[in-house]
Amino acid sequence: MPGVPRPYRPRRSGAAPDGDGARAADLDDGRRPGALAFSVEALRFVRSALTRSSAVAIYDFVGSSNYYTRDSLYVNLGYWRRAGTLDEASQDLAGLLAEAAGLGPATTVLDCGFGFADQDLYRYERFSPARIVGINVTPRVAIGRARVDAAGLASRIDLLLGSATAMPFGDGVFDRVMALECAFHFRTRLTFFCEAMRVLRPGGRLAVGDVVLGGSRRDDLKSKLIDRMHRRMWHIPDANMYPRQTYARKLAEAGFTDVQVESIAADVFAPYLAYCERFARSAPERGRLNPLLRVGPNMMMRLGWFDQYDYVIATAQMLKGGETT
């Protein structure tokens, strides 16, 4: 599509790094794990869903069967205004959030929950920020790091193990803080807002792409069950489940000004599910999807899974020095 940059394509380097390296090589090759490996992943996933032990296991599980993406390792629902594939849609969402944040050559950026680093490689290429620092809670940070190294960008993109709710940084060190499709996991999102406020410089900006409760919540049994499963499966603390008006209030509570929380749900949920359903039914690569990923989108469409949720882009400003609210 003219004007739409292609998704970042991972380089296939021969040598796998230490630690998570073997898994990184699996992901890069897009191979499907064997039956035993899949069963182990499935058990871990079920256990973590039942115990709410970690918001990370689910991404390991999804990543291991390579999801509905072809060239990239994004794990988001995508922004579907122009995109034809999930790789393009995910990249467009990463770009949309970077535009909302006002990324530019002079900015120092903190990216929370960077997945496997596609978004940082892409944003670096497109917006040339002075520096990107990423934090993620999973030891699979190693995969992102290996990809950054392979792209020769280790001096510009620094990926660290750490949580968005207890940031390993001093006060006032970033111009931008971003979080793409992950703040709903954080314990809690409000703690993250306060941490973002702390690490931002005066005049800095926060931009978040997030899933919240929709305005038209239903109270029937089916909707309640879906909501319960949704929170469990995606490890969403109850304290994070509120609509966008409350979202704006919490940002203000954390000290931000110029708060805007806009819905982009129409360009996210339905086109995402339609694409994944088509992919699972007819894409030449569908054979590599695990059984859950094969039937999931169809089931979710039938159940109206996302009907009670909203997808928002939220932006907020830290006051410049000397200003008062």
Ligand X SMILES: C[S@@+](CC[C@H](N)C(=O)[O-])C[C@H]1O[C@@H](n2cnc3c(N)ncnc32)[C@H](O)[C@@H]1O
| Angstrom distance (rounded) from CA 135 to CA 207 | 15
CB of 79 to ligand X, least distance (A): 11
Nearer to ligand X, 75 or 96 (CB): 75
Nearer to ligand X, 112 or 293 (CB): 112
| Closer residue to ligand X, CB minimum distance, 2 or 306 | 306
* Closest CB to ligand X among residues 79, 256: 79
Supply the minimum distance, in Å, between the C-beta of residue 95 and ligand X. 12
Length of the chain: 325
Give the number of other CB atoms < 10 A from CB of residue 7.
25
Residue 185, SS3 per DSSP: coil
Q: Rounded CA gap, 156 and 134, in Å?
A: 11
Nearest approach, Cβ of residue 203 and ligand X (Å): 24
Minimal distance, residue 171 CB to ligand X, in Å: 19
- Nearest approach, Cβ of 227 to ligand X (angstroms)? 18
Cα gap 63→65, rounded to integer Å: 5
The helix or strand, by DSSP H or E, that contains position 118, with its residue range, turns out to be helix 118-127
Helix (H, G, I), strand (E, B) or coil at 265: helix
Give residues in contact with ligand X (CB under 6 A): 55-56, 59, 74-76, 112-115, 119, 135-138, 163-165, 180-182, 185-186
Pick 136 or 290: Cβ nearer ligand X: 136
Look up residue 205 and give its DSSP letter: E
Which H or E element spans position 252?
helix 244-253
Q: Rounded to whole angstroms, how far apart are CA atoms 38 and 60?
A: 11
